[in-house]
Amino acid sequence: MALKLRSTCFWDVDIKKVDKEKDKFFIISRILEYGTMEDVVSLLSEYDSEEIAEVVKRSRIIGRATANFWGLILNIPRSVIIRFLEPEDFYLRR
Report the domain count for the chain: 1
pLDDT value of position 76: 93
- Domain of residue 78: give its range: 19-92
pLDDT value of position 81: 82
Residue 81 resides in a domain: yes
50 in Cβ contact with 26 (< 8 Å): no
Residue 10 resides in a domain: no
Low-confidence ranges of the chain (pLDDT < 50): 1, 90
Distance CA 85, CA 83 (A): 6
Cα dihedral sign for 66, 68, 73, 74? positive
Amino acid at position 70, single letter: W
Residue 73 resides in a domain: yes
42 in Cβ contact with 81 (< 8 Å): no
pLDDT value of position 90: 46
